[in-house]
Structure 1
Amino acid sequence: MYFIETWFGIFIVDSELNVVDSKLYSEDVDEIVRLNRDFDWSYVKGFDAEPAPLDLEREFRLNLWGRYEERYRSLLHEVGHQVCEGDVEVSLEDRGEDVIRAVETLDKFDKSINLLGESVKEWALSHNVGDVGSGEEIAQDILDGEISESSFKSSVVYQEVKRVSEQLMSLKMARDSVLSYIEREMMGFAPNLTKVCGPVIGGRLISLAGGLKKLALMPSGTIQVLGAEKALFRHLKDGSEPPKHGVIFQHELIRNTHWSKRGKLARTLASKIALASRIDYFSGEDKSKTLLEDLEKRKKEVLQ
């Protein structure tokens, strides 16, 4: 089951968006504002529910408002005004949205850079330029003059490869700029998460969860397999081995460890990520030193 939080209540739904249960807030504005700031996690835990995927949540919200418009419409403006007074939370959500978009943009840049890099390398090798590294390295060597026109069988082809190389390196510069933005934003609004798992993995987890708040409310077991939805679906469908980790595999703690130890370390890392995201969202204190020390201690226990 899934839970969907709105400003006027919490809904428990199944995979087909049927409402299993709901907790509608009273029509007292102060009480609604308080409940919007202090999520009732105990209510959700009673149903063993997880945050709804973004597509389900959007569909639910589109069909939801009409049912409750008459009852809550008159309160919307006043609730919105009071919530905006606590603009720290609003700011966190806005910055989370920006990080989500930046991570999505970074992925698109990476895909384009990889495709162009492959093209540059294949083109160069077809002219017997030699095994001269990755596509990006070849492009940079062409632009630096390390690989000259005489290295190619045709000057026309060389000029075309050079133009593609210019586009490739331009994309790389833009990609690096987006990466720098992600690093700055993540350190600004999710410092504990950033220090525990890095800005890119942290940003990717926020993107997959649908925001810092949703990540903070997720159990560590769900965080552990975020990004491995296809493997999890195969496991549920045909009984294949369940995934041990999702996007957190990119973390050096998991990636550089023998496969037999990865499951234990993935659970540990996911639990620290869960704690870090909750601290970032609910208190903002810097507890990263303690989290990293605990992570290092557990790493030594597992690897000894």
Structure 2
Amino acid sequence: MRLFTTWFGVFILDDEGQVFNKTLFPSNAGEIAVRLRAIDEGQILPEEEEIAGEGDLLVREKRLELLGDFVPFEEPVLEPEDFGFSQTLLSEAMVSLGRQKMKASSTPDEQILQAIRAIDDLTKTINLMSERLHEWHALNFPELEKLVPDAKYPEIIAEHGDRETIIKAGEVELEDSIGTDISPEDTEAIKKLASTLNATAKTKEEMETYVQARMQQVAKNTAHVAGPLIGARLISLAGGLDRLARLPSSTIQLLGAEKAMFKHIKDKAKPPKHGVLFQHPHVHRAPYWQRGKIARTMASKISIAAKVDRHGNRFIGDELQKELDARIKDIQRKYPNPPEKGRRKR
């Protein structure tokens, strides 16, 4: 038997992956968020302890080793809709989880750390709901996703619903569709999912605005050099502003590239040259042969900025940015062309 926990309940599965027993969580966003937070903190849920008393079990999470033998078995596919739970409820629970994490934080940089992780949670929820919306609405109007921008797709569905209404509203032009007709009840359900997706995306935007404002208060030098969101993500990856301020610049350069570094160590693959710093325009817009050098320079300036943010209250962001810009121009001047293939360094 295998013990498996999802966001909507705890399940005992037999060797064929069939549900042998289950304990569903309350259909309440706040209650689900409490359990998700406990899981994030490595706790064992009361529902897991209760259902695990039924015999020898296999578990796929380290935190559950007290309840059974740890074996990283393949994650089973359990659809929440089959058990009376909706994607809308998941969205509400993730928003509630983000709020709980922010309330529980005690220091300003921890607020930022939790907010960034909440943004990540919301991003996962948005991607999941978007995939579901595309698959569902494609039954009625499969051509729509190719006729409108991705950002406008859920907005059009939330406002108009089915294919005929969308075409009559003048949102797209199409003479014929291979989609099937759907009932008014189906249309309303799809519209509700699209509306929830739009609301979740708006919440994410508001969270990003919050992070940008908080970074100006807590780590204004880091925000100035790295950008507010990238700076916040570096704080999150480091485990806090104090930890970021103590890291060497070489480590800051590779924050977010842990998997690539592990692959380099294990399989002798090429070492990574940058982590989340690749998201910065200075790095990702640069030619590939300049990116590592620019990321190294940025990491050096961010290291200084973080130290000043942690131990002082001075603003030296303009000075650091000026030095960074000068160094980038120097790199562009010294390395205008890609290195010759097969040429060995001496």
Give the TM-score category using the shorter length.
Answer: 0.5 to 0.7
Could you tell me how far apart the structure 1 residues matched to 2:325 and 2:116 are?
27
Counterpart amino acid of 2:157?
I
Calculate the aligned-residue CA RMSD, in Å.
2.3
TM-score (norm 2): 0.58
Aligned CA distance change for structure 1 residues 93 and 190 (closer, same or farther; 3 Å)? farther
Structure 1 residue runs of 4 or more that deviate by more than 6 Å after TM superposition: none
Q: Offset at 1:143?
A: 3.0
Partner of 1:143: 158
Alignment of 1:35-114 (within 5 A): 94-114=107-127
Could you tell me how far apart the structure 2 residues matched to 1:164 and 1:135 are?
16
How many pairs align? Answer: 215
- Gaps spanning 5+ residues in structure 2: where? 1-40, 43-104, 167-178, 334-346
Pick from 107, 122, 129 the counterpart of residue 116 of structure 1.
129
Secondary structure of the 2:274 match is coil
Q: Offset at 1:255?
A: 1.3
Secondary structure of the 1:112 match is helix
Pick from 250, 256, 265 the counterpart of residue 285 of structure 2.
256
Contact 2:115 2:207 (C-alpha < 8 Å) held by counterparts: yes
Counterpart amino acid of 1:98?
Q
Aligned CA distance change for structure 1 residues 284 and 147 (closer, same or farther; 3 Å)? farther
Answering whether residue 182 of structure 2 is matched by residue 154 of structure 1, we say yes
Residues 229-253 of structure 1, C-alpha deviations (whole Å, 9 max, x = no match): 1111111122211110111111111
Partner of 1:165: 194
Pick from 216, 225, 229 the counterpart of residue 200 of structure 1.
229
- Gaps spanning 5+ residues in structure 1: where? 1-53, 56-91
Partner of 1:230: 259
Answering whether residue 258 of structure 2 is matched by residue 245 of structure 1, we say no
Could you tell me how far apart the structure 1 residues matched to 2:160 and 2:149 are?
16
Q: Offset at 1:159?
A: 2.0
Pick from 128, 134, 154 the counterpart of residue 142 of structure 2.
128
TM-score (norm 1): 0.66
Could you tell me how far apart the structure 1 residues matched to 2:316 and 2:307 are?
11
Residues 155-179 of structure 1, C-alpha deviations (whole Å, 9 max, x = no match): 3432222111011011112112211
Partner of 2:249: 220
Partner of 1:59: none
Higher helix share: 1
Secondary structure of the 2:152 match is helix
**Farther off after superposition, 105-114 or 133-142:** 133-142
Counterpart amino acid of 2:303?
A
